Every structure is written in structure tokens, then in C-alpha cells.
Amino acid sequence: MKTYQQKGNNALLIINQKTLKKVLIENVVLLKGDVNYTTFYLEHGKEKVVAHTIKFFENYLEKHGFLRVHRSYMINPNHVKNYNPEEYLLTMTNGEKATISRRRKSVLKNLAA
């Protein structure tokens, strides 16, 4: 697996303005979108749900090395445990699975190398 260097390893992501929920970007494993909600899957099995779409966070997180692999998934490539190209499936370090869309499989060519 290729390791991606993230810019600003200690960068914080504010995921809720009202309650000031903050997480370290390096601790985010996976984002899963469901209509107007996004679930952040963090290291050690923690989850945080936010009332924003993935698109809201996409530009900021792409600058830190995250990849949008599906309409509903955005991953941190440093937390990929296994890549199954036949099923277009990623297994993350926390055990979560993310499917890869056919149109975005080219994004992962560098990951498998």
C-alpha cells in the first residue's frame, strides 16, 4: 500500500459550528454520506454524525489527501487495510467497508501500486 503524506498532520476539522465538535483529520478513517447527513468514522470505532452532505467537506478534505471513491464514501488512503479490485471494495483499518464506483476506480490505481 502506498502511504499518502497529508498536509498539516495536526489540522483540526470543525464538524459542527454550534457545539464546536472538532476532530483531528489524521483520525478520520472514512466519511459515509446518507442524503443530508454525513457519518464520520474515526479511529478506535468512534462515530460522529453531522447534518451536512459530504460535498460540504469534500474540497477541504481533498487538500489533506482524502479520496472520493463513491457518491456516498470519502476515504483516508492512509487507513486502507485491503483493496479487492474484483468486487470494487475497500476494507478500512477500523473494519468498515467502502464500495468504489465504476467511474471512480481510476482514482485507486495509484493506491494498489
Query: What is the pTM for the complete model shown?
Result: 0.83
Domain ranges of the chain: 12-112
Nearest to 75 by CA among 8, 88, 87: 88
Q: Which has more confidence, 108 or 88?
A: 88
pLDDT score of 2? 39
Spatial neighbors of 12 by CB under 8 A, at least 6 apart, are 22, 23, 24, 25
Q: Which residue has the higher pLDDT, 21 or 98?
A: 98
pLDDT at 1: 31
Residue 101 has pLDDT above 60, yes or no: yes
**CATH 3.30.70.660 fits domain 12-112:** no
Higher pLDDT, residue 3 or 55: 55
Residue 63 has pLDDT above 60, yes or no: yes
Supply the pLDDT for residue 94. Answer: 92
